[in-house]
Amino acid sequence: MKIRQVITGQTGLSRTDRVAALCYACSLTPERLYADLDSDIADADLEVLEKCLNERMSGKPLAYITGRREFFSETFTVNENVLIPRPETEVLVEGALERLRGAKGRTILDMGCGSGAIGTIVAKETGNRVFCVDISHEALKCARQNARSLGVDGLTEFACSDLFEALGTGIQFDMILANLPYVTSGELAQLMPDVRDFEPRLALDGGEDGLDVYRRLIASLPGRLVPGGDILLEIGSAHQARELKALLEGAGLGIQIINDYANKERVVAGHG
């Protein structure tokens, strides 16, 4: 079978999926793939391709099939124990980098690190020390692996904890970054099957209004953020932005809301 036949064939999958599956199975870049449209696919590659297309047809996200996802121009290893890093989260990372510009010797927390997408990029881009915390042991294994492959294992530390619970009481942070679960109970049932049936519920479910975990985080904030420190929280709606703004203002912080590229409220940023 030729590459062209797979790209133009009717498999019930999008062209984007078919091209990505071909690139993965044949170990080719998209540019190389399009330059070799009339090449025959080797038998071994064809076997990988068929498995990949069948899994995709069953709804499995491509990132879990290939085991990788691009985020902030880096390739992250992902598996079904972690949320697939989303482009919206780059807004939070950019907000963090802007606030850290030139700052050295800071201690940063990536709370609910999942694959480590946020924390490892911030460590790599700024050279500051980042604590990556997650309640899931399996997610932390993945985050550690990504820290190694990005070359920041010397700058990152990992802890399994329900929010601050397992962290020593003396430890304070100059910056707290969090993309904790914020999907509401109502939205959860209506998510695309790729997300609902494959991504970890622990990474998505934020309770009735999506803010259960964030409320607990903010309640346990006293003593965790140094005076003059920053906290950046990713959210999914204007309502959530308003609620978190009120809670953080109640904790004495000045607030800025950062919108994403679709002009939706995406990050609540607090400054102490």
Ligand X SMILES: C[S@@+](CC[C@H](N)C(=O)[O-])C[C@H]1O[C@@H](n2cnc3c(N)ncnc32)[C@H](O)[C@@H]1O
**Contact set with ligand X (CB under 6 A):** 82-83, 85, 89, 112-115, 117-118, 133-136, 139, 162-163, 179-181, 202-203, 213
Comparison of 29 and 190: residue with beta carbon closer to ligand X:
190
Comparison of 20 and 83: residue with beta carbon closer to ligand X:
83
Comparison of 54 and 75: residue with beta carbon closer to ligand X:
75
Q: How far apart are CA 85 and CA 79, in angstroms?
A: 11
In whole angstroms, the minimum distance from the beta carbon of 192 to ligand X comes to 15
In whole angstroms, the minimum distance from the beta carbon of 56 to ligand X comes to 21
Residue with tokens 């449209």: 37
In whole angstroms, the minimum distance from the beta carbon of 70 to ligand X comes to 13
In whole angstroms, the minimum distance from the beta carbon of 235 to ligand X comes to 11
Q: How far apart are CA 102 and CA 96, in angstroms?
A: 12
CA distances from 1 to 38, 59, 96, 267 (A): 9, 24, 48, 47
Residues whose CB is less than 8 angstroms from the CB of residue 140 and which lie 6 or more positions away in sequence, other chains included = 113, 132, 134, 158, 159, 160
Q: What tokens appear for 179 in the block?
A: 């993309």
Comparison of 33 and 82: residue with beta carbon closer to ligand X:
82
Which residues face 193 on adjacent strands? none
In whole angstroms, the minimum distance from the beta carbon of 206 to ligand X comes to 9
In whole angstroms, the minimum distance from the beta carbon of 176 to ligand X comes to 12
Q: How far apart are CA 71 and CA 89, in angstroms?
A: 9
Comparison of 181 and 270: residue with beta carbon closer to ligand X:
181
In whole angstroms, the minimum distance from the beta carbon of 267 to ligand X comes to 12
Q: Of 35, 263, 57, 81, which Cα lies nearest the Cα of 26?
A: 35
Comparison of 181 and 229: residue with beta carbon closer to ligand X:
181
In whole angstroms, the minimum distance from the beta carbon of 10 to ligand X comes to 34
Q: How far apart are CA 120 and CA 142, in angstroms?
A: 12
Comparison of 33 and 76: residue with beta carbon closer to ligand X:
76
CA distances from 188 to 56, 87, 184, 192, 213 (A): 21, 20, 6, 9, 15
Comparison of 117 and 248: residue with beta carbon closer to ligand X:
117
CA distances from 34 to 16, 85, 221 (A): 13, 27, 52
Residue 43's CB is within 10 A of a number of other CB atoms, namely 8
Q: How far apart are CA 103 and CA 44, in angstroms?
A: 50
